[in-house]
Amino acid sequence: MRRTVLLSLAPLVFIGAFSTTLFAAGKTAPVSGYKVVATFPHSTNSYTEGFFYLDGLFYEGTGLVGHSSVSVVQPATGEALQRRPLPEPYFGEGIVDWGPNIYEWTWTSHVCFVLDRFSLRLIKQFTYTGEGWGMTRDAREIITSDGTDTIRFRNPETFQETHHITVKDGGQPIDRLNELEYIKGEIFANVWHTDRIARISPRDGHVIGWIDLTGILPDNQRMDEESVLNGIAYDAQHDRIFVTGKRWPNVFEIKIVPKPKIK
């Protein structure tokens, strides 16, 4: 999730203490490349923390205190058709749809808001322990990340953890797991401050493969060092994958392709 330097020095300490390498020696998961199929507009005011696609629309949760919200966005225009802001001091994080509702949780406030998906009206809120980062779901449970190497599965009615997995590649833990999307039986996860997406087995947490999105948005189009890749959405009906990032000018529809070999 990643914070601006104005918020805290804690992220810098966190990065410095990060001992996991994404390129551990030994048998690691294969790396794929990407092909951009289509490009859509995206507001550079949107500090993207949660992202999903449903019924022809993008749903986006944004962060930063005083700027956090949930929006319903028309993909072709990037226009927000509906928007519900979060009041201070909340820092919005991942969002997920469950039935007629949307869950939106927060970074360190330990509060989750449940909204009516059609009106964005607040239905209820509840508390939980730990940090909130990404959220997605399968057919039975809500799936969450908290910036560590642990992914937790939760009962949608109680939000209580039912079980968890530890994410590893070649035996090495992979942390900084951020925004999530469930695609064809796999958990796709952004890894904070990288241009890579991990494809994770929900059964045991091993990394099935990586998607290297290096170059998808040139550095000179990123607002600052926190304008990182963070947003994965999936259109199951048409088998389309979308990616974006914090304050990026575009959403990209991509196809996963073999990574070109370096000669």
Confidence check: pLDDT of 84 > 90: yes
- Paired tokens of 201: 């087995």
How many Cβ atoms are within 10 Å of 104's Cβ, its own excluded?
30
What pLDDT, in 10s, does the model give residues 121-142? Answer: 999 999 999 999 999 999 999 9
- Give the pLDDT band (50/70/90) at residue 263: low
Is 173 contained in some domain? no
Number of domains present in the structure of the chain: 1
Is 228 contained in some domain? yes
Is 146 contained in some domain? yes
Name the pTM for this structure: 0.88
How many Cβ atoms are within 10 Å of 175's Cβ, its own excluded?
18
Pairing of strands 31-41, 207-212: parallel
Is 178 contained in some domain? no
Is 263 contained in some domain? no
Is 174 contained in some domain? no
Amino acid at 242: F
Beta carbons of 179 and 94 less than 8 angstroms apart: yes
The contacts of residue 135 (CB under 8 Å, 6+ apart) are 50, 93, 94, 95, 96, 103, 105, 142, 143, 144, 145, 180
CA–CA dist 46, 87 (Å, integer):
16
- Paired tokens of 31: 């790396």
CATH of the domain at 80: 2.130.10.10
Q: Is 8 helix (H, G, I), strand (E, B) or coil?
A: coil
CA–CA dist 39, 139 (Å, integer):
29
Look at 1-15, 18-32, 82-96 and tell me which has the smallest mean pLDDT: 1-15
Confidence check: pLDDT of 226 > 60: yes
The contacts of residue 233 (CB under 8 Å, 6+ apart) are 51, 52, 53, 58, 181, 241, 242, 243, 251
What pLDDT, in 10s, does the model give residues 16-69? Answer: 333 344 444 458 999 999 999 999 999 999 999 999 999 999 999 999 999 999
Confidence check: pLDDT of 119 > 70: yes
Is 239 contained in some domain? yes
Q: What is the pLDDT of residue 125?
A: 96
What pLDDT, in 10s, does the model give residues 195-211? Answer: 999 999 999 999 999 99
How many Cβ atoms are within 10 Å of 43's Cβ, its own excluded?
18
Q: Is 16 helix (H, G, I), strand (E, B) or coil?
A: helix
Q: What is the pLDDT of residue 222?
A: 92
Q: Is 151 helix (H, G, I), strand (E, B) or coil?
A: strand
Beta carbons of 18 and 176 less than 8 angstroms apart: yes
Is 67 contained in some domain? yes
Return mean pLDDT, the chain: 90
Beta carbons of 146 and 135 less than 8 angstroms apart: no
What's 39's DSSP letter? E
CA–CA dist 156, 144 (Å, integer):
11
Confidence check: pLDDT of 249 > 60: yes
- Give the pLDDT band (50/70/90) at residue 259: confident
Q: Is 188 helix (H, G, I), strand (E, B) or coil?
A: strand
Confidence check: pLDDT of 238 > 80: yes
Confidence check: pLDDT of 117 > 50: yes
Say how many CA atoms lie within 13 Å of 34 toward its Cβ.
22
Confidence check: pLDDT of 104 > 50: yes
Q: Which domain holds residue 103?
A: 35-165+216-258
